[in-house]
Amino acid sequence: MNTADLQTPLKRVRGLGSAKSGTHHFIVQRITAVALIPLVLWSIWLALMLLHADYVAAQALLQQPLNAVLMIAFVLALFWHAQLGLQVVIEDYVHTRWREITLQVAVKFLCVLGALACALAVVRIALGK
Amino acid sequence: MSETITPESARPLSPHIQIYRWQIQMVTSILHRATGVALAVGSIMVCALLLALAAGPYPYEAVRGFCGSGLGLFLLLGWTWSLCYHLLNGIRHLLHDAGMGFGIAQFIRAGWISVIGSFVLTALIWACVFARGGVA
């Protein structure tokens, strides 16, 4: 028996909106935003530390376990938050359906690739060669 | 042509872009989006730096060299301000989400704090950069 059949159409759609996902996007956008507040402040400190660091000094800085973990957390939150934000911009301004879908998928792919590449780079730096 | 204020002319106009008066509420909203998109592009720089640092000394020095170039400095300055603005205005949005600061006066003041604060924060960060002897 399909339980969905027992719900009225109003019950099914209530609170889900046109995207059919309710407040999920809104909530994840805020959670990544809250995570990014301390991570961005830390990344500004790191950037200032890297100013006059040559290759060896820069590697040593990112090899510290705390910095490596925070950098991976930073890039994950960054690309997740970027995808959610760009999604809304595309939804608002791109009105040709095939263009919108193409852009949305491209942005998702690029953000996942960016996060994976950055995370792998940090692991490589942290573990040495 | 003399303008007499009639009930019709005293009515608010619809917000068409050419006749819409600029105000801090719309400026902060537009800037939040614009800086968000700029920062998404800036994530390429984060990627480039990390990948170069993982790849070896020569790629790393190449990225550092780019950061110290005229174009690199211009981009870094732009991204610094975008980051400061998006950070401060984002915190403002989170406070509004929590139900705070919805009085008109408070709302306008918070908008100005985001805009002015972003320039102050950018100046502070670049003061730190120059105190440490500049870029690269």
Q: How far apart are CA B115 and CA B35, in angstroms?
A: 12
Q: Which domain holds residue B123?
A: 25-130
| Per-residue confidence (pLDDT) for residue B87, from 0 to 100 | 98
pLDDT in tens, A37-91: 999 999 999 999 998 899 999 999 999 999 999 999 999 999 999 999 999 999 9
Cβ–Cβ gap A40/B94 under 8 Å: no
Backbone phi, psi, residue B135, to 5°? -85, 135
DSSP state, residue B119:
H
Residue B14 domain-assigned (yes or no): no
Q: Which helix (H) or strand (E) holds B65?
A: helix B57-68
* DSSP-based three-state secondary structure for B2: coil
Q: How far apart are CA B43 and CA A116, in angstroms?
A: 13
CATH number at residue B104: 1.20.1300.10
- Write out chain A residues lying below 8 Å of B53, CB-based: 55, 58-59, 62, 121, 125
CATH topology of domain A17-127: 3 helical TM bundles of succinate and fumarate reductases (1.20.1300)
Residue B85 domain-assigned (yes or no): yes
Percentage with pLDDT > 90 across chain A: 78
| ipTM of the complex as predicted | 0.86
Decide if B129 touches A, using CB distance below 8 A.
Answer: yes
Residues 23-42 of B with CB under 8 A from A: 33, 36-37, 39-40
Angle, CA of A40, A41 and A46, to the nearest 5°: 90
Which one of A33, A54, A85 has the shortest CB-CB distance to B94?
A33
pLDDT in tens, B81-122: 999 999 999 999 999 999 999 999 999 999 999 999 999 999
Residue B13 domain-assigned (yes or no): no
Residue B9 domain-assigned (yes or no): no
Residue B6 domain-assigned (yes or no): no
Residue B66 domain-assigned (yes or no): yes
Total number of domains constituting chain B: 1
Averaged pLDDT for residues B41-68: 96
